[in-house]
Amino acid sequence: MIPDDTIVFNGHGPGSYFDDHEIRLRHLLRQDALPASGGGRHLLYTCPACKRPWYKEGRREYPRLTAEQLIFLGSIFHADTQALHCLPRALCPICSTIHLSGMFSIGAFPEFRGYHLLWESASPPHRELAAIVCPAEGVSIDVLLRLLPDVLLEPRDRLAAVLAWLETCPLPETVRVYTQEQRYSYTSRNTGNSAANEKTQRWQGYAWEAFCPPLEGQVLVSLAMSPPSPDPASYLNLLVSWHAMARSLRMVL
């Protein structure tokens, strides 16, 4: 018999309060995914390329952990370091640099089932490329540029399908250039308010809507770069860059 009091019914056992986002993270990631200062989380990953564990602290990465470091971190985050295949998969910094010529990270907007992709060059001059693909219903580009992406929990096959679509995404007929306020919002989100006040022009970006079959509807697409390019048609270069980036990423997922 199912009790009338569903709160009590859902209050015990491994599935307790599974609708809580933090509990779902703990269950799916097999560790305590603690928030890091400045955004992101503390997480242990296994690299799908080199098969080695590595540690991510927000936007800082630590590859090639020693056995002692791995045991220490595993004890802090309550992760089973003897079962590395159970840890979430993500390219380590070394393999990302080898295969993609820079640091690549994937985040998600869980409430909207959208994706945030970020690439940072490994050698000077420092350059960053960002892409957002998110179902358009109920969200605007202004909201997405202010939100901090969280850990990706969606199935990898869904992400691969979105990347395959981005790889061949056609040139849009019309695009919206980031306003100064949107550029400020995105810079502020990535660097903090103090840095954003000094670099309000750091990011240059473009947004449009398109139909995305893997997400079964209209999506918001946004491509951005930092530092800004003097080329007035730089969204063409951005789109071509992401065509190549999406293809390379699919090969190493």
Please report, for the chain, the start and end positions of each structural domain, with discontinuous segments joined by +: 6-86, 101-252
User: What is d(CA 105, CA 100) in angstroms, rounded to the nearest whole number?
Assistant: 11
> In this model, does residue 122 exceed pLDDT 90?
no
- Rounded to an integer, what distance in angstroms lies between the CA atom of residue 217 and that of residue 219? 6
pTM > 0.75: yes
For residue 195, the model assigns a pLDDT of 42
pLDDT of residue 231: 66
Residue 11 pLDDT greater than 70, yes or no? no
Confidence of residue 145 (pLDDT cuts 50, 70, 90): very high
Number of helical (H) and strand (E) elements in the chain, helices listed first: 9, 9
Alpha carbon 38 to its chain's center: 15
